Amino acid sequence: MKQQQLPKDFLWGGAVAAHQVEGGWDQGGKGPSIADVLSGGSHGVDRVMTDGVLEGYSYPNHEAVDFYGRYKQDVALFAEMGFKCFRTSIAWTRIFPKGDELEPNEAGLQFYDDLFDELLKYNIQPVITLSHFEMPYHLVKEYGGWKNRQVVDFFVRFSEVVLRRYQHKVKYWMTFNEINNQSNYQYPLFGYCCSGVVYSEEQNPEQTLYQVLHHQFVASAQVVKLGHQINPEFKIGCMLACVPFYPFSCKPDDVMYSVEAMHQRYLFTDVQVRGYYPSYLLRDWQRKGFQIEMQPQDEQTLREGCADYIGFSYYMSNALQADAPSSSDAMFGFPGNVPNPHVKASDWGWQIDPVGLRYSLNVLYERYQKPLFIVENGFGAFDKVEADGKINDDYRIDYLSAHIEQMKKAVIEDGVDLIGYTPWGCIDCVSFTTGEYGKRYGFIYVDKHDDGTGTLERSRKKSFDWYRNVIASNGEQL
Ligand code: P53
């Protein structure tokens, strides 16, 4: 019989990250993370990485949307939408406030026990990212972040503690969120958030990037291996920001250039899923004379710690022209990146391309034949609260339904093995790239504004009912 529908056990849900929702940045023994020293910015105004928490700056992640204090109410709303899963991260600094302690902080562990129990009460599975842009600030100041091999051991220790503690509550894990963001080493925020390293300040930024990545690849593989020992039922994935590069035209140089550029995506999954460095990367290092320090057992560790599935975010595609001048957009300025005339962009310049999601699912599945999990997708927009309190976010519904339509084609027509779909920012939260509250993704509106005002009260947007119906019909009614 032909499969016409998504699988019955498809994991519909929503996604956030600890630092973008929790707040309570100094509560329950939590230490400062790198997100706690990031000021607020806006479209075109970069966030500042301050040297500790300083007077005179506003730090939106300190309060975020107070999920730390209000998670019960929020989980009840997720349950009302019918979530089967909920993706969040564990803030490393709640468990190891400085990162280099030998013993974990019990209050932090208890918080996630309580949160997971609350989710499980409604049959919502937690899906957990171990590192989502929130490493301990202390490890950055004192150790140089992930440049330092010692951080591998600190991370593995943290991971072991939580993998053991929650082994009966969590099945799906991911190691590093959007590990590939830092390959844009010219833009300081990305290296800082992924690894606590500002590559542009390094003597050889690109070589440093690969040294850092080697440490993270080894750490990730160790965690996968260890996790499988703790509970063989665990599914531990990697996580890729999948912004596919299209050739701008059918000119052979454009096509070949897009293949080369895609190496900047695939190298991450190649190492994490296949367990060894791909030839094109080794040749690149050789050409550039890079010396990446590795320990003798690393090669074996990588092979023994292959990811069980590929989690990825999908928001947009990019088009590349081989001979275009360098783009002026520092954030997404991959060399040769030019506007795609066939798609529209959001208010933040993110190009909206639902077919690109089907494309991404296909290329990833063809390359690896591993289960995939869309762990982020969504539309950041300004929302307007009407006089009657309603929020008519039809633009968000349009974005999501067009993407779900393409996702269904990938599963039903192309046979892609897809675990689930968790749209980003299911409740409004602090934007990662700009630190704004005004860039909203949620089905649930949070009354909190960029000038610091707001009651933090929650309300249901139009998309809330829409998504509830999507889940109830297993994606049939969009
Ligand atoms: P904000 C680039 C491309 C795709 C996803 O971003 C990206 C980025 C930026 O690194 O990041 C993810 O809030 C990230 C989330 C983030 C979300 O996209 O800037 O995993 O933490 O909030 C949306 O609009």
Q: What does the pLDDT profile of the chain (478 residues) look like in tens digits?
A: 556 899 999 999 999 999 999 999 999 999 999 999 999 998 888 999 999 999 999 999 999 999 999 999 999 999 999 999 999 999 999 999 999 999 999 999 999 999 999 999 999 999 999 999 999 999 999 999 999 999 999 999 999 999 999 999 999 999 999 999 999 998 999 999 999 999 999 999 999 999 999 999 999 999 999 999 999 999 999 999 999 999 999 999 999 999 999 999 999 999 999 999 999 999 999 999 999 999 999 999 999 999 999 999 999 999 999 988 776 666 777 889 999 999 999 888 899 999 999 999 999 999 999 999 999 999 999 999 999 999 999 999 999 999 999 999 999 999 999 999 999 999 999 999 999 999 999 999 999 999 999 999 999 999 999 999 999 999 999 9
175 within ligand 1 shell (Cβ under 6 A): no
Are the CB atoms for 393 and 461 separated by under 8 Å? yes
89 within ligand 1 shell (Cβ under 6 A): no
What pTM, to 2 d.p., does this model score? 0.97
What's the 397 CA to ligand 1 centre distance in angstroms? Answer: 19
What's the 181 CA to ligand 1 centre distance in angstroms? Answer: 9
Residue 187, φ and ψ in degrees, nearest 5: -100, 110
Which atom from ligand 1 is nearest to the alpha carbon of 177? 20
List 345's β-bridge partners, or say none: 351
Are the CB atoms for 408 and 354 separated by under 8 Å? no
Q: Which residues contact 252 (CB under 8 A, 6 or more apart)?
A: none
Q: Where are the beta strands (DSSP E) in 203-243?
A: 235-241
436 within ligand 1 shell (Cβ under 6 A): no
Structure tokens at 260: 């080369």
441 within ligand 1 shell (Cβ under 6 A): no
What's the 190 CA to ligand 1 centre distance in angstroms? Answer: 10
CA 147 → CA 180, 202, 219, 220, 368, distances in Å? 16, 11, 13, 15, 29
Q: How do 318-320 and 418-421 pair as beta strands?
A: unpaired
198/257 Cα distance (integer angstroms): 27
Enzyme catalytic residues: 376
Label residues 179-206 b or e (16+ Cβ within 10 Å = b). bbbbbbbebbbbbbbbbbbbbeebeeee
Surface-to-core class of residue 429, CB atoms within 10 Å of its CB (0-12 exposed, 13-18 middle, 19+ buried): buried
Q: How do 125-131 and 172-176 pair as beta strands?
A: parallel
100/146 Cα distance (integer angstroms): 13
Task: Note the Cα 307 to chain centre separation in Å.
Answer: 16
Output helix, strand, coil percentages for the chain, rounded to the nearest 5: 40, 15, 45
